[in-house]
Chains A and B, each alone.
Chain A
Amino acid sequence: MFSYYIKIALISIKRNWGLSSLMILAIALGIGATMTTVTVNYLMSADPIPHKSDQLYYVRLDSWDPNNPYNEGISPPAQMTYIDATNLLKAKKAYRQNLSSQAFGVIEPPNPDDLPLFVFGRANSSDFFAMFDVPFLFGSPWDENSDLSKEQVIVLSKQTNDRLFGGENSVGKTLRFESKVFKVVGVLDHYDPKPRYFDISTGAFDDPADFYVPFSLIAEQAVRRSGNTNCWKTFGDGFEAFLASECIWIAFWVELQNQDQVEAYQTFLDAYANEQKNFGRFPRPIDNRLTNVTDYMEEREVVADDARMMMAMSFMFLVVCLLNTVGLLLAKFIGKAPEIGLRQALGASRSTLFLQYIIESGCIGLAGGLLGLLFAYLGLQSVETLYGSYMQGLATLDFNMVVFAMVLALVSTVIAGIYPTWRACRIQPARQLKCQ
């Protein structure tokens, strides 16, 4: 009977093409608007590294001002001082650890005819690549020794390698970066996690890094650092003084494989903070935190409030579209009263008819959902055009979203169809048959 109902529904949709088109359009507009905002929110809040997000922990230590708590005491400072980050790195108490900062500089292309490139990248530990499952196209990361010995090695993003070396395997080649010679040890495949969870201090949805260099080169001033820096205590002149200051500017992550390791590392952090108190640091009560990826994204409200607001408004728009659909379905089904009366006379019960017309509503909903997906695609293209690279990667419909859109369209239209269908099935067949 189900296929029969589908067939009857399609005939009915074809027969009342104008009215059906209006309903499909109304649902499509609602679904299109909703899916545009839902997709952006969904991708913003998606787990960027689902297979190990519960093993990667962002480390925060409260080394802040005793008289003026960071973030009103709600959470410890969002980044770490150079002293603490390097101390924790040296302690090697985690399975893997990474400290990183944004860096920038100028690369002189191998071809002297090409213009120099102004690039933004990251200075980080060698563990960065293994911790965050960074894919390599050519070569491999530098090793810990390169880090310790401050070797001038560089890993290029795919895009930078394309620009400098035309996409060829450039491992082993050298380039001039910040007027110094760097050896290329690796080239990444496309790598642009959204959100960029390992450093959201400079924007969770900013462009991916153009290059990666050992963090030790920052202290050497072989590479210039950039990014968010906050200080609560004055410090002397010079870069050495800055490194020894209480300024926070480094993101520190650890990889811990199980709960025992998490607890052990927390104990270590607290012991470290107490030890630092002996040196006159950490004047505030101990508040050291280990936060996994998803909790950290949530705590830092990676999904902006205005994005949530837009999503709520688009759902309200969908409701308005569905209310219009209710009216149109009512008009359509009441117009079919003679046929409903006839079908009752020929043996259809009210429940049978209810099912038949709900299936027709569902067919309209699916058609609206398909058109809505097209509208959502266009909407996302518009969002990407409007916001540029900020939205790159966030404005795409994945399989989950396509399924969600179709289910949303189907369920909402079936719900919208309940009242019109119920009204249609309440008609008295005798009157309709006499009227024909």
Chain B
Amino acid sequence: MLEMKNINKIFQTADVQTHALRDFNLTVNEGDFVSVTGPSGSGKTTFLNIAGLLETYTSGDFYLDGQNVGMLNDSGRSKMRNQKIGFVFQGFNLIPDLNLFYNVDVPLRYRGFNAKERKQRIEENLARVGLASRMKHVPSQLSGGQQQRVAIARALATDPRFLLADEPTGNLDSEMADGVMSLLEDINKQGTTIIMVTHDPELALRASRRIQVKDGRVSELDIVAEKALA
């Protein structure tokens, strides 16, 4: 479970203070598929970065699986990221020099799995996203949709509790976007909690729960009513 209580995030420059999140309160339960929408600059990505332990917060309390994240040092945060969180980015963020096998291998290396287990997990997860036959290919040999599938396979390889997706379909055409969304839905059905930031209202409606971030604050939207309206 992910729980944020009165989280504030202030970006401080020499002259300006920017309040990215203000008293941000959110609880995400196990198995949720949460879509996060909101206008540009509203704080969606800041929220996702804090949720993914990629950024620290200024004040408040953040618990991930009951553990107070604020107490962790860099090493502890890295360990928790590796064990509990998977990331899917808009820009795929694959390492261009490594083939698909070694791209998926990266988080498994940091987890410390042995070679046999790493190989098994890589093959399983690439098969799960339909790319088992392309293991030796490098990212540039794949389409955008396929690259995003590899990124999803990499995120799932460590069996994370949470999958954080930042505009996962933002760089894809509608057909590819639909494929990636279907994959995320399947993954969610298999038990992985997903938090997805998106600008696309249609994709947001495919989540089981929708929240909106505006001026650094969160508001829960009635997804049933929205679906009925749609």
Q: What separation, in Å, do the CA atoms of A12 and B98 have in the docked complex?
A: 10
Residues of chain A with a CB closer than 8 A to B52's CB: 345
Residues of chain B with a CB closer than 8 A to A429's CB: 54
- B93 partner, pick from A1, A12, A342, A347, beta carbons under 8 A: A342
Main DSSP-derived SS at the A contact region: helix
Q: Which B-chain residue is minimally distant from A342 (CB atoms)?
A: B93
Are the CB atoms of B74 and A350 closer together than 8 Å? Answer: yes
Using known A-B contacts A346-B106, A347-B107, A436-B93, determine if residue A11 contacts B78 with beta carbons closer than 8 Å.
Answer: no
- B81 partner, pick from A4, A14, A345, A434, beta carbons under 8 A: A345
A352 within 8 A of B: yes
Residues of chain B with a CB closer than 8 A to A4's CB: 109
Using known A-B contacts A346-B82, A347-B81, A351-B75, determine if residue A11 contacts B54 with beta carbons closer than 8 Å.
Answer: no
Q: Which A-chain residue is minimally distant from B83 (CB atoms)?
A: A347
**Could you mark each residue 65-97 of chain B with 1 if its beta carbon is under 8 Å from any beta carbon of chain A, else 0?**
000000000110011011100010101010101
A339 within 8 A of B: yes
Are the CB atoms of B78 and A348 closer together than 8 Å? Answer: yes
Q: Which B-chain residue is minimally distant from A15 (CB atoms)?
A: B97
Are the CB atoms of A433 and B54 closer together than 8 Å? Answer: yes
Q: What separation, in Å, do the CA atoms of A11 and B97 have in the docked complex?
A: 7
Residues of chain B with a CB closer than 8 A to A434's CB: 45, 166
Which of the four size classes fits the interface of chain B?
Answer: 20 to 34
A46 within 8 A of B: no
Are the CB atoms of B107 and A346 closer together than 8 Å? Answer: yes
Smallest CB separation, A14 vs chain B (Å) = 8
Residues of chain A with a CB closer than 8 A to B49's CB: 430
Are the CB atoms of A346 and B154 closer together than 8 Å? Answer: yes
Q: Which of B103-138 contact A (CB under 8 A)?
A: 106-107, 109-111
A32 within 8 A of B: no
- A11 partner, pick from B45, B89, B98, B109, beta carbons under 8 A: B98
Smallest CB separation, A170 vs chain B (Å) = 67
Q: What separation, in Å, do the CA atoms of A339 and B92 have in the docked complex?
A: 12
Interface centre among B45, B107, B109 (most CB of A within 10 A): B109
A428 within 8 A of B: yes
**Could you mark each residue 161-198 of chain B with 1 if its beta carbon is under 8 Å from any beta carbon of chain A, else 0?**
00000100000000000000000000000000000000
Smallest CB separation, A435 vs chain B (Å) = 8
Main DSSP-derived SS at the B contact region: helix
Residues of chain A with a CB closer than 8 A to B200's CB: none
Smallest CB separation, A335 vs chain B (Å) = 13
Are the CB atoms of B93 and A349 closer together than 8 Å? Answer: no
Q: What separation, in Å, do the CA atoms of A349 and B52 have in the docked complex?
A: 14
A344 within 8 A of B: yes
B220 within 8 A of A: no
Q: Which B-chain residue is minimally distant from A353 (CB atoms)?
A: B78
Residues of chain A with a CB closer than 8 A to B79's CB: 347, 349
A338 within 8 A of B: yes
Interface centre among A14, A338, A347 (most CB of B within 10 A): A347
Q: What separation, in Å, do the CA atoms of A346 and B87 have in the docked complex?
A: 8
A52 within 8 A of B: no
B226 within 8 A of A: no
A284 within 8 A of B: no
Residues of chain B with a CB closer than 8 A to A346's CB: 81-82, 87, 106-107, 110, 154
Using known A-B contacts A347-B111, A351-B75, A352-B110, determine if residue A433 contacts B93 with beta carbons closer than 8 Å.
Answer: yes
Q: What separation, in Å, do the CA atoms of A429 and B166 have in the docked complex?
A: 14
B residues with a Cβ closer than 8 A to A are: 45, 49, 52, 54-55, 74-75, 78-79, 81-83, 87, 89, 91, 93, 95, 97-98, 106-107, 109-111, 154, 158, 166
Cross-chain pairs A/B with CB under 8 angstroms, 23 sampled: A338-B93, A342-B95, A342-B106, A344-B81, A345-B81, A345-B87, A346-B82, A346-B87, A347-B81, A347-B83, A347-B107, A347-B110, A347-B158, A348-B110, A349-B74, A350-B75, A350-B78, A351-B74, A351-B75, A352-B78, A430-B54, A433-B93, A434-B166
A residues with a Cβ closer than 8 A to B are: 1, 4, 11-12, 14-15, 338-339, 342-352, 428-430, 433-434, 436
- Beyond the given A345-B52, A345-B81, please list 12 additional residue pairs across the A-B interface where CB-CB is below 8 A: A339-B95, A342-B93, A346-B154, A348-B110, A349-B75, A349-B79, A350-B74, A350-B78, A430-B54, A434-B166, A436-B89, A436-B91
